[in-house]
Amino acid sequence: MNEKLKKLKAEAERKSAESARFHVVDDQPPEADEIEEVPFPLHCFPPFVRDMVEEVNRTANVASVSLTAGCALGIASAALGAGVAIASGGGRSCMGNLWVMPLAHSGLGKSSVLNPLLQPLLEAEADAQNKFDSNEGPQLEVDQGYLTEKIKTMRKDYAKARDESHPLGTKIEGIRRGLTQMIDQLNQVEDKLKGRPCFRVEDSTPEALLGIVSGQCHNAVASISAEARAIIKVITGRYDSGGAEAIYCGLFSGDPIAVDRITRGPERVKGYLSALWLGQPDVGTKVMEDEEMLNSGLVARMLLYQTNAIPQHSSKESIAPMVPKVQDAWSAKLKEICSAFRENPEDVKVIPVELKVNDLLIDFQNRSVDARIGNGFMRKKHSIAARWAESAWKIILILHCLDHGAAATQIAVPFETAERGVELMDWFIDQQEAAILGNQLVDDNKELKEVIAVFEASGRSEMTRREISRSSLKWKADDIDRFLLLHPTRFTSELKILAGSQRKTQIIRILPE
């Protein structure tokens, strides 16, 4: 870490310590698992972002830097759109569309955190929509009406021309060509009408979302919701068809997705979705336990974490309005980024990186591989670790654009920015590891109860490996070996010659508590 970053970190830690003094609503202090053990690395953000996070935290009366900072990161990603990318090595490039999912209990005022951060993006969207409605929109509607009526008339003429005895019969080829041209023009007009600026959606169905994406500048849109439960229900409720996860996963990585055009049949569109989904802790548990969401790679694309947010007492400081200078700086930079990249129809610009950045990300990528193989802690959730490097590149691009605004494409991404991006990603990895280990403990306890129930049902304290494999557990040999290693104080195994047999058989014995 360089000296500049050390100074930034020291200053941020000082401010964090000053702002950490809060009153707990309950008479009892918060439980250990309710306190944020690993502080969010707020020093990784530019100063104007840090200031805005602290102001929102103060006025929202919520003691959680990670909740507010995660929202700021997600909204910055939404403002970026897909008009700029970062050179991520090997001739590849990566967009800045990130998926962030902070978790906090109901009643903590998640909307109070989200709304002031989101306001500049909503204003930019409204300005773009007003411009469209005042200029291009009305003319397109006129063209649509004219072409629609013209096509009706030409279709009637074409039907008559198919009768060779009709006077129009000799003109059938000319009518067919004219009709085809008119239909093509109408399709183009209707596609442009679908392009009315839409920077963000909430809980649209995957099909509707894809329709919106395909009409936007650079095919980019953001899904932002203060309550992610509805979105998760939409996704999980459509797994039977197999289409929902494919659409969402494709919109993260920019993979081509089939869009069904009624008049022209399917087309393949590359779209990009940024996501900021605020949820309650039980939603996070549901997502982490959903095998289909894990296997599809949907969970792997989410930066999902517990914020451990708790309410604070109101004070004279908390009811004071936000400092206008802080709000204005956040608003100005967000709108600058939005105008330069999200709304700019020019070709996507790819920002190069300093040579040392690639070395840093190679080391980071190798760490993710180590976590997925051998005894790595992510070996059972390897799909999650497989996306770490991609998310790190996205964070680095967002930080670079926050640092330099519209001028970001004129400056190679410096090593210092990449360091900050990797440090942020490391924090998210720590949160994922904590969530996975927590869920694993729950799974292990559930599994232990199931095995005990199998022994109780048999009425014996001993069972052979084959009997266990053929029980309701339907375990393989590896499952039994793993279970015995996890519970050495409750179960043991030995080789034993059973009655009526001349060879030794491995039996599993349950031990008294």
Cα 104 to the center of its chain, rounded Å: 16
In terms of average pLDDT, the best of 85-89, 269-273, 285-289, 379-383 is 85-89
Say if 361 falls within a structural domain: no
> Which pLDDT score is estimated for 184?
80
Percent of the chain exceeding pLDDT 90 equals 37
- Tell me if 438 is assigned to some domain: no
Task: Please report whether residue 451 resides in a domain.
Answer: no
355 has pLDDT over 90: yes
Judgement on whether residues 120 and 259 belong to the same structural domain of the protein: yes
Per-residue pLDDT, 14: 44
Cα separation, 506 vs 75, in Å, equals 58
Do residues 121 and 205 share a domain? yes
Strand partners, 506: 495
Q: Are residues 230 and 331 in the same domain?
A: yes
Same domain as 469, residue 405: no
Do 407 and 497 lie in one domain? The reply is no
pLDDT given at position 338: 96
Please indicate, yes or no, if residue 143 is contained in any of the structural domains: no
Please state the pTM of the whole predicted model. Answer: 0.73
Same domain? For 329 and 464 the reply is no
Does residue 494 belong to any structural domain of this protein? yes
Computed over every residue of the chain, the mean pLDDT equals 82
Burial of 85 (0-12, 13-18, 19+ CB in 10 A): buried
d(CA 251, CA 270): 7
User: Quick check: 273 and 253 in contact, CB under 8 A?
Assistant: no
- Is residue 72 predicted with pLDDT exceeding 80? yes
Do 103 and 237 share a domain, yes or no?
Answer: yes
| Most confident option among 75-89, 106-120, 167-181, 489-503 | 75-89
Task: Please tell me the predicted confidence (pLDDT) of residue 178.
Answer: 86
Residue 450 located in a structural domain: no
Q: Are residues 407 and 480 in the same domain?
A: no
Whether 248 is covered by a domain: the verdict is yes
366 found inside a domain: no
Between these two residues, 272 and 244, which has the higher pLDDT value? 272
Domain hosting residue 48, numbered range: 3-133+195-352+401-413
Phi first, then psi: what are they for 108, rounded to 5°?
Answer: -90, 0
Q: In angstroms, rounded to a whole number, what is the distance separating the alpha carbons of residues 62 and 506?
A: 57
Q: What is the mean pLDDT of residues 24-38?
A: 40
User: What mean pLDDT is predicted for residues 270-285?
Assistant: 88
Angle at 334 between CA 333 and CA 335, to 5 degrees: 90
Residues 83-135 have pLDDT tens digits of 999 999 989 999 999 999 999 888 877 889 999 999 999 999 999 988 888 87
Residues 6+ apart with CB under 8 A from 502: none
Split into its structural domains, the chain has a count of 2
Interhelix angle 136-161/110-134, rounded to 10 degrees, is: 60
| Dist. CA 301–CA 247, nearest whole Å | 13
Range of lowest pLDDT (5-19, 223-237, 287-301, 497-511): 5-19
Q: How far apart are CA 420 and CA 408, in angstroms?
A: 16
Q: Is 228 helix (H, G, I), strand (E, B) or coil?
A: coil
Which DSSP string corresponds to 334-382?
HHHHIIIIIS--SPPEEEPB-HHHHHHHHHHHHHHHHHHSTT-TTGGGH
Q: How many CB atoms are closer than 10 A to CB 404?
A: 20
pLDDT of residue 170: 67
